[in-house]
Each structure stands twice: as structure tokens, then as C-alpha cells.
A and B are shown apart, each in its own frame.
Chain A
Amino acid sequence: MVKSIVGTGGFVVVMVLAALIAGTIGGSIERTLVVFFISLIAVLGMGVYSGNSGILSFGHLGFMGLGAYLSGILTMPIAMKQMTLANLPPFLATAHFDLLGATVIAVIFVMVVALVVGIVISKLEGSAATITTLGLLVIVHGIIIGARDFTRGSQSFFGVPRVTDLTVAAICAVLAIIVARFYKDSVFGLKLRASRDDQLAAGAMGVNVRRERLLSWVISAGIVAVAGVLIGHFLGAFSVKKFYFVDTFALLAMLIVGGMATVTGALAGATLITLVTEILRRVEGGIEIFGFQTPQLFGTTQIGIGLIILLAMAKRSDGLFDRLEWDEALLGGWFAKKEKIVGDAPPEHKPVPEGSLQASSITKFFGGLKALDQVSLALANREIVGLIGPNGSGKTTLLNVLSGVLPASEGETLVDSQDVSTMTSHQLAGLGIGRTFQNIRLFSSLSVRQNVAVAALNAWPKVSTIVANEKVDMALEAMGITEFSEVQASTLSYGNQRRVEIARALALEPRFLFLDEPAAGMNREETDSLMDDLKSLCDRFGMGILIVDHDLPLIMRLCERVVVLNEGRVIAEGEPKTVQKDPQVIEAYLGHKGSQQVAEVLSD
């Protein structure tokens, strides 16, 4: 919170200064600055969606166009409308609003449109979503041209009062910065950024990725609509071409060159591209250098922006400012330390409610391959069950089905007595099923603390951010990684990354915790200390733990019960000692010949 305030405060100061200077100089600088502010608003709006979700959008210029046309119709003097838009329906023909009223109506309208379109787009995967936004731009363009009665088709739309001045543009830009930065640092923004880094893990930690994407899509459309209203009332006359690919290109360049993940990046990108455009526009008309007149070059700006993009993407594909805001880069974790509640005793943790997880006859096909065949498994509170089996026996697939990452082909899963077979991973996470992944899936651009917070914010029942913060502290402390809390997760050692994954799952306050090879890649000491921690977790919180590992001594020592999978079927189940001697298990691990040798040794 403090961080967001200081972060946005810095921008506001810079922008007010710029506006004051330009205001006193006036003329073309003032015009340039107004356009710059409007572009900045559009870029910030696009960034709210693209930056936090990682999905590029081409559709936002369509929203900008809708905002410009609708608000233009609303503010245009009625006499003007009778001349230029004679066929308007009566309620629009007689309507007349000031800029503020028109803006509010246009923004609401655009957000409703975005909500409807967003329901489809949020269902699609990244690249397919991007292409659909492209389709959206073409559709809106087509509708604006087709709806002649409202828009004059592809002809110039004129008569809009020119009421956007430097003050209005600057105020709106400041507001856009505030909304963008606070959204990004909000709970919603954090969840969406987690899904950007790893969609699957975010789902498993209870994030409803579609809903978060839809929310940011609608907010971003609203911000961009404001930019549309302002540009319409700045130009006074415009045509549908203004809201098509040429401007999309320039705005995307601003978004991506500075780094689309941050507000700082948006500001840097908008500044750089505006400056370059201003300079190149003068070259375009031909200039005199040392007495030579350069020829007129059409589209110099386009080529210039294109080259900047190529260079920026090749050298710094995350943009000039990487993924840090200016205050984060300069002031580091200073605020985080200030914000932290100090000196408290470790928070209370209630034991989880009693219950059971019961999977029966789970079957899973991958095409023709039967990865799981009639697998049944039960897990109760306070027990640690080991799931072992040779490579490819279906252990991870079973965890994926139980945690809702993959749907089962047949069979059902009950939590207590509720059928959860058709639930998605984020719903199951809400029910108290936490998991880790075999190949670590942390939210790589987030700090350790934020990684864990994403899960804590989704624990059920829903909690306030203060309680969520306590849960984060608790989980970090339980896994012994409190000292790394402000470090970016991807920079930690392998063993500590595994610990962060477990802490993240713990923050869900899981009743059932699935660990997929938690000790993989750890040395003996690290493994031993992890085992101690897992044992004490089970005692302290009372959750049931299902653990997959290849380290058989570890499983044998830790678990009261072991389930053995081979080729998708359960071939043995029971106490570790009994299972260890089961001839079928030995055969599965060592093959037929090996098992005979072991049998001989045992019988000797």
C-alpha cells in the first residue's frame, strides 16, 4: 500500500511538472503533451490487461474507437447532429451532455461491451486469445463503418467540441496511473500476475484465472475508453482509420518497449516512442542537413518505431525496465520491511477439520493409452501416505486427477461425502486440497512472500488481507524460509524453491496436501530436515499428506501406509514393511529376473 502510494506519487510529480512547463510554453509542445498524455492513458489501460496477464491485445483500439464515437455523439451540439447525423434515433439525437457525463456513459457502455466479449476471450489460451482480440478489432472497425447512421461510416466524423485541454488530459493521465498501479498491487492484480507466470500452478493454488482475466479485461477497456473520449474531443474530427492498425502499432510499441509488466515501463515506453515519433515526423517531410535537402520519405515513423521494437525485443525482451517499478528498483525492499508487522509471536493455527478424501475406480486415458486403471485410494487426517511405483506408472497423473489439474475419464472423488469429480483445480484448492509440482512451478517474477500470498488469499473461508498476511508468515516460518521472503522466487536454490512450493501449498490451509517428489534434487541432509518438517506439519495441523517420491528409504521411514502403482494399476497397499516384501512390487521395480534373484536371497 505505502509502496503503491509512493510509486504513483513519483509519477504524479513528474507529470504535473511537465504539464506546467508545457502550459507556460504553449503551442506545439502543448499539443504534443496532450497527445502524449492520451497515449499514456491508452497504454496504461492496455497494460492493466496485457501486462498482468501476459496476453497481448489488439482489440483495445476498438474500445478506444467506441468510446470516441459514443461520447462524440453525446457532446455534439444538437443542431450539429441534425445536420451531420440526420438518421440518429431520437434519444441520441436529442441528447446533450458535457464532457464528464459523456465520459461516464461511454466508459460504462464500453465496459459492458468488454464484459460480453471478455466472456469468450477469457476462455481461450494465451495466443488464441490474442488472435481473437485481433478479430475483435476487425469486427469493431467493420461495425463502425457499417453503422453509418451513427458514425458517418468511413467518412470523417466531425463537429465534436474540442474540450480536451492540457489540464483535462493530465488529470485523466494521473487517474489512469493510480488505477493501473493500485490494480497491479491489489489482490486481484497479484493473482493475475501469478497466472501470467504459471497458469497451471495459479489454478492449483485456488486462483480462478478466467475470472481474474475477465476483471482486468473490463477495467482495462474502461481506461482505454477514457483515452478514446479524450482523443475524440481533442481532434474534434476523426475517422475510423484512427482506431485501426497504425495506431495499434504505435501503442503496442509504447507498451512493450518499456516493459508491459509495469506502470514505469508504460511511462518510459510512451515517452520514448513519443519523442522518436516527434523527431522522425520532421525527418519525414525532408530536412536540410549541412545544406543538403533529404528526400521526402513516407512512413519514416513507422520504420523507426519498427526498428526500435526489433532492437528492444532482441536485447531486452522484458522491456527496458524489466519487471520492476521505479520505486522497487531504486528503493528495493525498504517498504516491505516497513510494512511488516514486527515482534508478534507466531500466529495461532487451528487444526484442520476432520474428514476424508476418497477416490474410487479412477481411470484416465491419454488417447489410446490407459494411464490410470481403476485406481482407488483413501486419505484421512493426520496420516502420511506414500505413493510409489516405477517411472511412468501413473503417480503424477493420479495427483493431477485428484487435484483437478486433469479431468478423470471415469471414476469419482469424494471429499467428506461431497462428489468433487467435476471440479476444477481452483475449486478444489478452495476446498482445501494443496499440492506441489514435480518440476517446480513457482511464480518466477514474484517474491517468495507474494508466491505464498497468492495461495493464502484463496484459502477457504475467505479471509481479510491481514489474516492472509498472518497465514503467509506462518507458512514461511513452518518451512523455515522467512529470511528469503522478499527475494524473487526464481533466484533461490533448488532446495529452497521446493520449500517455497510447500509453503505456498500450506498457505491454502490444506486439509489434504499432495507432494510430488518434494525431495528430488536435495542432498541427504536437506532431505532429512525436510522429512522432519513434514512430520511436524502433519502433527501440528493435522492434514493428510500424500507423498510421491523415488527415495524409497524416505517413504518407508515417513509413511504409515504405502500405495504402489504399476502401469496405472494399484498392485499393493499396506504398511511399508509388508509392501516391501510383496513379490509383485519387487517384480515391478526389478523386472521378472531381478525379482527371482531377490526371492532366492530372501529364502536363503
Chain B
Amino acid sequence: MDSDLAVFIQQTVNAISLGGTYALLALGLAIIFSIMGMINFAHGELMTITGYTLMYCGLAGLPFYISAPLAMMVAVVSAVLMERIAFRPVRGGSPASMLVTSFAVAIILQTLFQNLISPRSKAVPLPDVFAHSIHFGELSIGINQILSISLTVVILVTLNWFLRKTILGMAMRAAAEDFSVARLMGVKANAVISGAFAISGALAGAAGVLWVAQRASVDPHMGFVPVLKAFIAAILGGLGSLTGAVAGGFALGFIEIYLAAYLPDHIQPFKEALALGLVILVLLFRPNGLIPAATVGREKV
């Protein structure tokens, strides 16, 4: 096989894998935003919590196939608790007050991780098989990447099924379109919002597992940067649009990986700024994102 082509395929696999993680995160953010109008800054800390759970499970000698679902469960419970304790008092407040509240939660949790666990990066024991890779000629694809892409697909399909076929899922979609009407139709606000946080927790948990599986370490700020990227992905896709979030996540993954692979060396230090700048350029022409939310421009007058 042509080695340029091999590099290209290799990078494409990387892009799908990174984009999938962004998509999961952006989707979790979009679900909360579409229902509550809230940008949850503390989403990344759910990822970090997942990472620490994996670490402790690994230290306790639990096998990965048990510790991964367990870590996701912990993320779900944390998300629901976070809403119950910190976000419910500001529910219905201005977007600014909800945002600042979640920012405060994020910073408090990061500081707690630093003090109670460790300010430094800690190793997470992973099964040996994750380090292996499959070779096709010059091409080598890591087992963890294959797992990561498969898991992303499974989660997206399951979530799609859940939102379309189950009562709670339909209630959530209704609430995302128009929360006040949905409440008039008998949809319970607390149930929907708790449910939304549970799902976004599960998505953050899954993203956390994938992130750690590729890096084998966890630190107090682990979730912060990927979630920043997921925010950007969510507006690139169209804020509040679930399909948009997934599309935006993958798009950002591709932009980042290809820039990193093909930018000349002397511009490499600017690759992150360039990727975000590109996104902002897209917004100049499509201010509502690639796939705008259904509610955009349909404000009741």
C-alpha cells in the first residue's frame, strides 16, 4: 500500500475515534441545553470522576469489563446529584446565572480532586490487549481505537432508540422542543431533567472511559479541555440540536486531526488556535450551526 494513503487512513481512523469522543460529550451537553437552556461547564468533571473510578477499580484489581460500566454508573449518579444539589436552585434562571453556577461546580470539583486525590497525573491500569494493534500492511490500528469507535456507534444507536421509542425518551424530545408545552401535556419537569442529567452523565462516563483507555492516566483537569472542545463542537453543529452535536463533534475531530497531521511544522504551535478559528469562520456564514436546532427562529411572538 502507498504510504501516503496509509497515513491518510491512519489519520482518518484517529479522527473518527477522537470525533466520536467529542460527539458523545457534545451530545450530553446538547441534551441539557435543549431542555434547560443551560450550558453545563461541569460536564468535564463527570469525565474526570469516571477516570478516577477506573483508577481505583484498577487498583482494587477489578477487571476492565466490570470497572468500565461501574465507572459510567458513577458518572450517572454524580450527574443526577449535581443537578439535585447545585443546579436545581438556579433552574429557570438566566442563562448567565446557570452557566456561572456550573462553572463554580467545575472549579470546586477540580480543587477537591487536587486536594483529596492528587494534583498530579495518576496511572490507570488497563488490560494489556489495549496496547496491541492490528496490522494491515503499513497500516496499524490500535485495539483501543477499534473498541472506541465501536462503543461510540453502539451508544449513539442505543440513544437514538431510547429517544424515539421509549416514553421517557419521547418526553425528553418533547421537552427539548418546547418545555412549557410539554409540561402542559403532563410531562413531569423533575423526571425529565433528572433523566436528562442521567443520560448526559452516561455519555460523559462513556467519553471518560474512551479517553482514559487511550491515555492510561487521569488528572484533576482531565475533562476540562475535551469538554471545552465539545462546547465548540456543539455550536459548530448548532446549539441545542442533538444531530448537530454529533455532526459537530465529528467535524471538529476531523479538523483537529488533519491539521495536526498535515500542517507544516512551523505552524504546528498554532494548530489549536487555527482549528477553533476555522470553526468561528464557519459560524460567520452559518450562525446557527451546521444543523440548526428546530427551535431556532420559531420563538413565540
Interface residues of A (CB under 8 A from B): 50, 54-56, 117, 119-120, 123-128, 130-132, 134-136, 138-140, 142-143, 145-146, 148, 200, 245, 249, 252-253, 256, 260, 297-299, 302-303, 305-307, 309-310, 313-314, 317-318, 366, 396, 400, 405-406, 437-439, 441
Contacts and interface: CB of A to CB of B under 8 A. Distances in A.
A136 B279 CA distance: 11
Contacts of A309: 100-101, 103-104
B71 interface: no
B115 A313 contact: no
B270 A127 contact: no
Interface of B: 33, 37, 39, 86, 89-90, 93-101, 103-105, 107-108, 110-112, 114-115, 119, 224, 228, 231-232, 234-235, 239, 269-270, 272-273, 276-277, 279-281, 283-284, 287-289, 296-301
B105 A310 contact: yes
B274 to A, nearest CB: 8
A297 to B, nearest CB: 6
A397 to B, nearest CB: 9
A298 B114 contact: yes
B104 A317 contact: no
Contact of A299 (B104, B115, B297): B115
Contact of B273 (A117, A125, A139, A245): A139
A517 to B, nearest CB: 12
Contacts of A313: 89-90, 93, 97-98, 100-101, 104
A199 B207 CA distance: 37
Given A56-B100, A132-B283, A406 B297 contact: yes
A449 to B, nearest CB: 24
Given A125-B287, A126-B95, 4 more contacts: A131-B39, A131-B235, A200-B301, A298-B119
Given A130-B39, A306-B105, A200 B299 contact: yes
B219 to A, nearest CB: 14
B273 A143 contact: yes
B108 A302 contact: yes
Residues of B contacting A: mostly: helix
Contacts of A306: 104-105, 107-108, 111
Nearest to A300: B111
Given A299-B115, A306-B108, A131 B232 contact: yes
9 closest Cβ contacts across the A-B interface?
Answer: A146-B269, A314-B89, A299-B111, A142-B273, A309-B104, A306-B108, A306-B104, A317-B97, A317-B93
Contacts of A136: 280
Given A123-B287, A132-B283, A138-B272, A314 B90 contact: yes
Contacts of A135: 231-232, 276, 279-280
Contacts of B239: 125, 127-128, 131
Contacts of B281: 120
Contacts of B287: 123-125, 128
Contact of B270 (A55, A142, A252, A297): A142
A135 B297 CA distance: 24
A132 B105 CA distance: 21
B45 to A, nearest CB: 12
B14 to A, nearest CB: 20
Contacts of B224: 245
A599 B193 CA distance: 53
B99 A130 contact: yes
A117 B101 CA distance: 27
Given A256-B100, A309-B100, A396-B301, A317 B90 contact: yes
23 contacts: A54-B94, A56-B96, A124-B283, A125-B288, A131-B239, A132-B280, A135-B231, A136-B280, A139-B273, A200-B301, A256-B100, A298-B111, A298-B119, A305-B104, A309-B100, A309-B103, A309-B104, A310-B101, A313-B90, A313-B97, A318-B97, A366-B298, A437-B301
A313 B96 CA distance: 10
A52 to B, nearest CB: 12
Contacts of A303: 107-108, 111-112
B107 A249 contact: yes
B301 A56 contact: no
Contacts of B93: 313, 317
A249 B301 contact: no
B8 to A, nearest CB: 26
B111 A302 contact: yes
A306 B111 CA distance: 10
B84 to A, nearest CB: 13
Contacts of A127: 33, 37, 39, 95, 99, 239
B300 A439 contact: yes
Contacts of B86: 310
A314 B86 CA distance: 8
Contacts of A441: 301
B299 to A, nearest CB: 6
Nearest to B232: A135
Contacts of A120: 280-281, 283-284
B115 A297 contact: yes
Contacts of A145: 269
Contacts of B99: 56, 127, 130
Contacts of A297: 115
Contacts of B300: 439
A310 to B, nearest CB: 5
Contacts of B100: 56, 252-253, 256, 309, 313
A310 B101 CA distance: 6
A437 B103 CA distance: 36
A317 B104 CA distance: 14
Nearest to A57: B96
A303 to B, nearest CB: 5
A54 B95 CA distance: 9
Contacts of A318: 97
Contacts of A256: 96-97, 100
B108 A307 contact: yes
A123 B111 contact: no
B91 to A, nearest CB: 10
A438 B296 CA distance: 20
A299 B114 contact: yes
A309 B101 CA distance: 7
A313 B97 CA distance: 6
A299 B108 CA distance: 9
